[in-house]
Amino acid sequence: MPRTARDVVFVDGVRTPFGKAGPKGIYHETRADDLVVKCIRELLRRNPALDPAAVDDVAVAATTQIGDQGLTIGRTAGILAGLPPTVPGYSIDRMCAGAMTAVTTTAASTAFGAYDIALAGGVEHMGRHPMGEAVDPNPRFVSEKLVDESALFMGMTAENLHDRFPHLTKARADEYAVHSQEKAAKAYANGRIQADLVPISVRRTNAEAGETGWGLATRDEPMRPGTTLANLASLKTPFRAHGRVTAGNAAGLNDGATASLIAAEDVARAAGLPVKMRLVSFAFAGVEPEVMGVGPIPSTEKALAKAGLGIADIGLFEINEAFAVQVLAFLDHFGLPDDDPRVNQYGGAIAFGHPLASSGVRLMTQLARQFEEQPQVRYGITTMCVGFGMGGTVIWENPHFEGAGK
Amino acid sequence: MSSSTVELLKGAAERFPDEVVTQAHVRHLDLPGDAGRFALITLDNGFDHTKPTTFGPQSLAGLDAALDQVEKEAADGEITGVGVTGKPFIFAVGADLKGVEVLGHRDEALAIGRGGHEVFKRLADLAVPTFAYYNGAAMGGGVEIGLHCTYRTVSAAVPAFSLPEVFLGLVPGWGGCTLLPNLIGADRAVTVVIENSLNQNRQLKGKQVYDLGIADALFEGADFLEQSLAWTAAVLGGELEVVRPDIDRGEEWDAAIERGRAVADDKVHGAAPAAYRALDIMAAAKNGDLRQGFAAEDEALADLIMGGELRAGIYAFDLVQRRAKRPAGAPDKSLARPVTKVGVVGAGLMASQLALLFVRRLEVPVVLTDIDQERIDKGVAWVHEQIDMLLLKGRVNQDAANRLKALVTGSLDKAAAFADADFVIEAVFEELSLKQRIFAELEEVVPPTAILATNTSSLSVTEMAAGLAHPERVVGFHFFNPVAILPLLEIVRAGATDDASLATAFAVAKKLKKSAVLVKDAPAFVVNRILTRFMGEVLGAVDEGTPVEVADGALAPLGLPMSPIVLLDLVGPAVAHHVAGTLAAAFPDRFAQSENLGRVVEAGKRTLYVHDSGKPELDPEVAALFRTGDTVLTEEQVRDRALDAIAQEIRLMLDEGVVAEAQDIDLCLITGAGWPFHLGGITPYLDRAGVSERVTGRRFLAPGVASVPE
């Protein structure tokens, strides 16, 4: 039977404010599944034109699929969110690129014609599920030297990246990090972030962590506006003595969730749903696990090649800031300056936090807001590095594009 | 709070050192949409939902301190509003009844009322609007704290919301009687305060709370608090105007109060004061004067707390809530054997009712047997019809109905039907030799550990088991008619019954959702013995010459669910006469068969009363059968005679060890005969009316148990 691939669009995306993992974090007493459930409900509320029964699938990513992130969270979250039982769901894992993969997978299914509309998102409660919880790496990785032991520890892979690119110094990484905090604070001041946040009720029973009782999370907890180079210079380098990677030039350990609505463009337009971005191409690529931070380079090259575009065609970049050095490596590779104004205009994960499998959709909601503000931009990318040596890139077209030169 | 109330609450707190204190946590948050800084108070006793949040004196003082804090913040312009919510699944379930039980002086009782008012009403007097977010179960004072707030939201997931005070013997006295009719109108308030309370403490669900107008907004459970706060932001920001319908303060108000009185009369027959006190306050609340209303609530609370009806009510509530769930004397439940198939001997109406109950609750195969196929078919068909009715009413879905119907079968062949049954109950005619024969027959075919149970109401279970090879597995399993409605199950330990069989019987009872009480194998067990003794005195008075209407009306001041003769008609004269015969044979000095009743049974009359005129009157044909003496007693004399007899009988039963304690007698009468909470079953009433001491020389319960401590 003849097929026509359909255009796929990013209808809308939301996220919870991100929290700091751990006993004093805002979400310490909040379940991971509740975070993603509340995102799904907010998406449905914001888009009353969407008939919940018309959702063809719910893809939810989590890196550690245990406990409240287990039990096929895409399915359970759908039921808990009040979607009709006829709407199926599944779980996705590509570590940090989980939500990104949820989007590309449902988008691909939509382009193929299997879906009209899907929900895609991710969640990671790193407080309840620390990185590496219950992992059991095959001993052959080490015995056959398939990967270096450092490949399992993301901070060490970032140190490895500094080794590989000696000119990407700690000073440059810190400077980048300070700039990220500044941009994030400015985006907040301009109300660019809050519009896509889902307030989350949070309970606290431990008085050591602050006022007890029910509260409401309305802002990202990890942000450190006013961070200076001097502040960063004094931080420890936990992954290597006299190393370069610190808590200041990397994303922290965080809790949070995201969700987005992906649809065939014709379906979205017929239903009266908004169209915030149009999918152009996507690609994932593998690299040596010891330097997973370079992953976005080959994945971006691949995605550009598939789209027939060059890096010069990209007007806006949303690159996940797992580590400053990994962003610098990307910029360096493509010949872009460290402070390129097209890159992470609202700041990035160093300021907001990076709850692993949820972050992909955060990049997309921020790019979507930037598209809306900048109709002169035609293409943008969202890209991120992924544990065990991978990168993922999605290229998007701005539906508000009014032609260059404006 | 006024200093005198503070002092009195302190005194109350000292009397109640075991209070599970509810903390009022104050936490600040930024409302969505830049609607400002907000103080949210969380009521939380530090336990999970299995120990709901309550208010005792220390809890009220803690809430007062939290309100001091937010009052200052509100006055200083630091916050734009104040909210109140609860821990997960629970908003708050009202006053701590344990704290009420220890109150021995009226001024302390008054302090509890005033303390609640003085703290709660601060929520109405703050410089900023206040919001209650009913996130979970809310009862009594939990509902009332929200009524003092400017606005309320409710979660659609709230499973239980009520003002149960009247059910217990109180009035909603922390603002409920006054505020609720002024919020939603008198008629709806009467439904909540009086009608629901007196209908087995019926609960409202979240949506009903909204539909009644108690809450201004309804949100789903999944993000209830988030949506409530977003709604709050919209209200505070002026984007949303809360409009409530006008309430009728004219004739409708008076008619509502009258309707409430009719409901109360129908349920408690004027015998318990709480509903009437609540209605008086609600009637007066028509003028909207809150201060006057709150003062009346304080006085009513103090009076009722110092009265025996409330003490009996709390005692009765505790019996059905706690004692019924942990039956006194039941063996360790780990001894219970699994029950995977049930047999019912007999396919008559009682047997069929049992089959229906067993299959619904146990969801295991249930086989009915009888002496001919036609009876069996009729029994099975009846059960299937009942399941179809449940399906029609939406109580079960089609899959469940299919499953249940498939589980119920009939067989003429006991050997085949019961070869793998774990529990076989007989519900055949009340004749000892017949039941002995059936048990002997069953023993040949059932597995060696299968329980053999009898639904006898008055025969000796021990004698029924005599002659069996394994009498240790025989238990009495005495249900009350109608089986689907009355919760009581008297479990009879016969002479040889072993712990494993008894534990299995209790495990089955629990699955059947019945309130099981362990009783000794004594004639007519508990409920029938007491009712028969009591009925015997009333009929005796009639036989001796007291007019039926005088004798039958004598107990009206107690507020029993029905008069003795109406009860006799419900049971059926033949059954009552038969049980009286059994008891007269066992205890000829205290029980006798009424000759007049014998003539009624002989004449084949099914009832003594006819209802042709709309109210019960003695059937002239029955009257014609009566031959009476010429001793005419007054109502008071009949009442004394009946109550004296009950007191004597209960004392004898306790001395014989029929049950473990007086509490079990009361639990039986509440759950098996529907005797009211304000009597506490009966022994609290006999104690407080002085009957126990007059007849037996001592009380049934220690002073302070179901009574005001001295």
CATH number reported for the structural domain that contains residue B431 in this entry: 3.40.50.720
Is residue A72 pLDDT above 90, yes or no? yes
In angstroms, the CA B480 to CA B103 distance is 37
Give the model's pLDDT for residue B574.
93
In angstroms, the CA B123 to CA B121 distance is 5
Tokens of B86: 């609860």
Closest partner residue to B226 (CB to CB) among A201, A203, A211 is A201
Closest partner residue to B226 (CB to CB) among A38, A212, A219 is A38
User: Which one of A28, A125, A179, A385 is the catalytic residue?
Assistant: A385
Find, among B668, B674, B677, the residue nearest to B489 by Cα. B668
Q: How far is B214 from chain A (nearest CA, A)?
A: 23
How does the average pLDDT of chain A come out, rounded?
97
CB contact under 8 A, B41 and A213: yes
DSSP H or E stretch at residue B46: none
Chain A contact for B48 (CB, 8 A cutoff): no
Chain B contact for A208 (CB, 8 A cutoff): no
Q: Are residues B516 and B537 in the same domain?
A: no
Closest partner residue to B225 (CB to CB) among A82, A201, A205 is A201
Domain membership of residue B312 (yes or no) is: no
User: Which one of A28, A39, A96, A162 is the catalytic residue?
Assistant: A96
* Partner residues linked to B424 by β-bridges: B343, B452
Q: Are residues B356 and B291 in the same domain?
A: no
CB B164 within 8 A of CB B93: no
**DSSP letter for each residue of A37-58:** HHHHHHHHHH-TTS-GGG--EE
Give the orientation angle of helix A296-307 with respect to helix A324-333, to 10 degrees.
Answer: 40
Average pLDDT over residues A249-265: 98
Domain membership of residue B329 (yes or no) is: no
Is residue A333 pLDDT above 90, yes or no? yes
| Residue of chain A whose Cα is closest to the Cα of B46 | A205
Tokens of A272: 């009266």
Give the model's pLDDT for residue A64.
97
- A39 part of the active site: no
Chain A contact for B621 (CB, 8 A cutoff): no
Residues of chain A with C-beta less than 8 angstroms from the C-beta of B63: none
Single out the residue in B614, B630, B657 at which a domain terminates. B657
**DSSP letter for each residue of B633-660:** --HHHHHHHHHHHHHHHHHHHHHHTSSS
Chain B contact for A81 (CB, 8 A cutoff): yes
CB A20 within 8 A of CB A253: yes
Residue with tokens 């382009």: A111
Give the model's pLDDT for residue A158.
97
Domain membership of residue B130 (yes or no) is: yes
Domain membership of residue B643 (yes or no) is: yes
Q: Are residues B27 and B176 in the same domain?
A: yes
Domain membership of residue B692 (yes or no) is: no
CB B54 within 8 A of CB B20: yes
Q: Are residues B628 and B648 in the same domain?
A: yes
For A86, counting Cβ atoms within 10 Å of its Cβ (0-12 exposed, 13-18 middle, 19+ buried), the class is exposed
Q: Which of residues 38-67 of A touch B (CB under 8 A)?
A: 38, 41-42
Give the model's pLDDT for residue B481.
84
Structure ipTM = 0.96
**DSSP letter for each residue of B458-500:** SS-HHHHHTT-S-GGGEEEEEE-SSTTT--EEEEEE-TT--HH
Give the model's pLDDT for residue A406.
45
- A314 to A342, A373, A374, B381: CA distances (angstroms): 9, 16, 13, 76
Give the orientation angle of helix B373-392 with respect to helix B398-407, to 10 degrees.
Answer: 170
Q: pLDDT-derived band of residue A404, with 50, 70 and 90 as boundaries?
A: low
Single out the residue in B284, B306, B328 at which a domain terminates. B306
Residue B539 lies in domain: 527-657
Tokens of B30: 């930024």
- A406 to A316, A378, A397, A402: CA distances (angstroms): 16, 11, 17, 8
Q: Are residues B17 and B88 in the same domain?
A: yes
Chain A contact for B78 (CB, 8 A cutoff): no
Chain B contact for A183 (CB, 8 A cutoff): no
Chain A contact for B636 (CB, 8 A cutoff): no
Residues of chain B with C-beta less than 8 angstroms from the C-beta of A198: 226
Q: Are residues B36 and B105 in the same domain?
A: yes
Burial pattern B141-169, b for ≥16 Cβ within 10 A else e, equals: bbbbbbbbbbbbbbbebbebbbbbbbbbb
Residues of chain A with C-beta less than 8 angstroms from the C-beta of B91: none
Chain A contact for B501 (CB, 8 A cutoff): no
HEC secondary structure over B411-437: ECCHHHHHCCCCEEEECCCCCHHHHHH
Q: Are residues B516 and B531 in the same domain?
A: no
CB B144 within 8 A of CB B178: no
Q: Are residues B534 and B514 in the same domain?
A: no
Domain membership of residue B488 (yes or no) is: yes
For B688, counting Cβ atoms within 10 Å of its Cβ (0-12 exposed, 13-18 middle, 19+ buried), the class is buried
Single out the residue in B487, B520, B553 at which a domain terminates. B520
Q: Residue A57: count other Cβ atoms within 10 Å of its Cβ.
A: 23
Closest partner residue to B32 (CB to CB) among A199, A213, A214 is A199
Residues of chain B with C-beta less than 8 angstroms from the C-beta of A219: 30
CB A21 within 8 A of CB A254: yes
The residue of A190, A216, A219, A220 whose CB has the most chain B CBs within 10 angstroms, and thus the best one to mutate to test that interface, is A216
Q: How far is A38 from chain B (nearest CA, A)?
A: 7
Closest partner residue to B25 (CB to CB) among A41, A213, A219 is A213
Quote the number of domains for chain B. Answer: 3
Closest partner residue to A215 (CB to CB) among B32, B40, B230 is B40
CATH number reported for the structural domain that contains residue B95 in this entry: 3.90.226.10
- pTM of the model as a whole: 0.94
CATH number reported for the structural domain that contains residue B572 in this entry: 1.10.1040.50
Domain membership of residue B323 (yes or no) is: no
Give the orientation angle of helix B290-305 with respect to helix B274-284, to 10 degrees.
Answer: 170
| Residue of chain A whose Cα is closest to the Cα of B44 | A213
Chain A contact for B65 (CB, 8 A cutoff): no
Chunked in runs of 10, what are the mean pLDDT values of chain B (710 residues)? 72 85 97 94 97 94 96 97 98 92 89 93 97 98 98 98 97 98 98 96 97 98 98 97 94 97 94 97 96 97 96 96 94 96 93 96 97 95 97 97 98 94 95 95 95 94 95 96 91 97 97 96 96 95 95 94 93 92 95 94 94 89 94 96 98 97 98 95 97 97 91
Q: How far is A248 from chain B (nearest CA, A)?
A: 27
CB A203 within 8 A of CB A213: yes
**DSSP letter for each residue of B162-229:** E--HHHHT---TTTHHHHHHHHH-HHHHHIIIIIIHHTTSPPBPHHHHHHTTSSSEEE-GGGHHHHHH
CB contact under 8 A, B44 and A204: no
Q: Are residues B461 and B610 in the same domain?
A: no
Domain membership of residue B607 (yes or no) is: yes
Q: What is the CA radius of gyration of chain B?
A: 28
> Do the strands B366-369 and B217-219 form a parallel or antiparallel pair, or are they unpaired?
unpaired
- A354 part of the active site: yes
3-state secondary structure of B4: helix
Chain B contact for A206 (CB, 8 A cutoff): no
In angstroms, the CA A341 to CA A359 distance is 21
Is residue A265 pLDDT above 70, yes or no? yes
Tokens of B701: 């319960």
Sign of CA dihedral A179, A183, A188, A189: positive
CB B686 within 8 A of CB B321: no
Q: How far is B223 from chain A (nearest CA, A)?
A: 7
Give the pLDDT confidence of A382-396 residue by residue, as tens digits: 999 999 999 999 999
Residue with tokens 């009946």: B642
Q: Are residues B514 and B537 in the same domain?
A: no
Q: Are residues B85 and B158 in the same domain?
A: yes
Contacts of B388 (CB under 8 A, 6+ apart): B401
Q: Are residues B381 and B455 in the same domain?
A: yes
The residue of B26, B42, B84, B131 whose CB has the most chain A CBs within 10 angstroms, and thus the best one to mutate to test that interface, is B42
